Amino acid sequence: MAELDPALQDEISNLSTRTTALIDAIRNYSGGNIAQATNDLLAAQAETANTIDARETALLGLIQQQTDKPVPSLMLDFLERIYMRGARRLEHGIDPYSILSVNRGSSKWVWGAQGNLTEVPADTLAYEYDPNTGAPLGHLNEPTSTNEIPECNNWSVNNNEVDRPGGADVFPGGKSGTAPDRIVPTAVSADHYVRQPNNPDNTNADISYYLHFKPQGYERIEIRVNGFGGSVGATFDAGSESVTWTGPDTTYARIIPLPDGWYRCEVAGTATDNGSWVHVFVMDDNGNKTFTGDGTSGIDVYWGQLEVRNAPTSPIWTNGSTETRQSDNIRVLADGWQNRRQASVFVEMSVKAGGDSSDNVLTLGAGRGNERMVLSKEGQIYVTTPEGNSFNGNSYNLDLHPGMTRYALSYEEAGPMHVTIDNGANSRSPGAISNKYLEVTRMTLGTQHTSATGVINGYIRRVHYYPFMMDQADLEALQ
């Protein structure tokens, strides 16, 4: 935003002075009777309300003239937790739930601002923060997923190869009343591992697994998801914070540092054969799985998760049976912020690994005949109206993981459409609304109106809706 014009600053100062003087006059009122005082007070209140309203309107116009970018009629900022709509955008304290409808039939776990893994109730925005820096990441939007391990914090061991002496370090947050497990390789030359059940048939299936791990003398582990020598696996080195794929069917692996020396180790792939156990091997300093332990050094482990999908999602606690976390669904009902004839929309997201290219960023519409415009994470736009359907194929080759992606689109009813992605680096004018009319009754984020399918896995950071069509150059400048 440009610096305020001196005239605007004078307007603000005059408004403050007049309001203060009026309040002082009311407080110091001493003439007449109580009835007269009451009438004067009511008159003063009415004058104040009318004056402030008029001044706010004037100020808003001046502020808009001072900005380099237009002011949206709907602004959803999931990073700063600022939500605004309509004309009175000097008020920044609107409760998000007066604007948003958040549907998620189960709780979910995210990293909070204090660096702890925290449970968020059902039907509640899941704000997540970087666990180490505290930087806001946005609302964590995820599809439905199931932890296939019936007891996520139960570890099976061979007592001849591994000791469990207790005394593991505390995990930052997590399930109340639970604790990590200390795993110590014995003084026997052997493979030292823990394991968890892998019950689904993995043959030709996408599978992913993660656990929390902390070195206690050994910095390396290897995870084999589908069996002792399973085809989906990787080694994780906490010292160098690096990973190495060790299975031919591995497609993804990542080590994520967490507070207090903990790490989240993730691995995924498309298994070509079945395996009934997930194995987690302790490795010595030379990278050997077969070695003789010293009976003291080991690792701490906490909360494993197996999912039948191509990348892991947020933690799902289980205690005796598998558990499913429902998908996120955010809707914004049209209540005056929308323009039926034309509009521009800006979305900032951080798309995580996994999912499909057709996963949805946002959907506009749901008017006369469930009409809608759908924008996918790879830039595809699908429009369906009573006048007919239109599909514009993806013309982008985007690297959406793990960076941030900005989308902007604008359209005019029965007219042209413009799209930009990634700071204007990819732009086009597909003309998807030609000879069609789009009535907007709601906006849906991260999925479609019609069903919880194609739900995007990532962070919704910012959404701006402008009630007018921008040209392509303005869309690019907006980013």
Structure tokens at 244: 């190495």
> Residue 256: its pLDDT value, please?
97
pLDDT under 50: residue ranges of the chain: 1, 64, 88-92, 394, 401
Which of 319, 321, 325 is closest to 141 using CA atoms?
Answer: 325
Specify whether the CB–CB gap between 421 and 411 falls below 8 A. no
> Residue 431: its pLDDT value, please?
63
Alpha-carbon span 209 to 40, nearest angstrom? 71
> Residue 62: its pLDDT value, please?
55
* Helices then strands, each counted (H, E), the chain: 3, 34
| 437-447: b (≥16 Cβ within 10 Å) or e | ebbbbbbbbbb
> Residue 246: its pLDDT value, please?
96
> Residue 363: its pLDDT value, please?
87
Specify whether the CB–CB gap between 159 and 135 falls below 8 A. no
At 415 the three-state DSSP class reads coil
Domain 74-103+328-478 and domain 145-325 have a common topology:
yes
The whole-model pTM stands at: 0.82
> Residue 138: its pLDDT value, please?
96
Cite the beta strand spans of 94-161 per DSSP E.
100-103, 108-111, 117-120, 127-129, 136-141, 145-147, 156-157
Which of 378, 363, 340 is closest to 449 using CA atoms?
Answer: 363
- Give DSSP secondary structure letters for 58-107: HHHHHHHHH-SSPPPSEEEETTTTEEEESS-TT--B--GGGTEEEE-SS-
> Residue 83: its pLDDT value, please?
86
Alpha-carbon span 249 to 240, nearest angstrom? 24
Sequence spans of domains, the chain: 6-66, 74-103+328-478, 145-325
Alpha-carbon span 229 to 218, nearest angstrom? 21
Measured in whole angstroms, how far is the alpha carbon of residue 283 from the centre of its chain? Answer: 34
> Residue 475: its pLDDT value, please?
86
> Residue 352: its pLDDT value, please?
86
> Residue 82: its pLDDT value, please?
83
Which of 215, 205, 249, 243 is closest to 229 using CA atoms?
Answer: 249
Alpha-carbon span 345 to 475, nearest angstrom? 9
Fold of 74-103+328-478: Jelly Rolls (2.60.120)
> Residue 396: its pLDDT value, please?
54
145-325 is classed in which CATH architecture?
A: Sandwich (2.60)
Q: Which long-range contacts (CB under 8 A, 24 or more apart) does 245-251 make?
A: 246/222, 251/310
Alpha-carbon span 24 to 367, nearest angstrom? 52
| Cis preceding linkage at 430, omega within 30 | no
Query: How far is CA 345 from each of CA 266, 296, 427, rounded to the nearest angstrom?
Result: 34, 58, 14
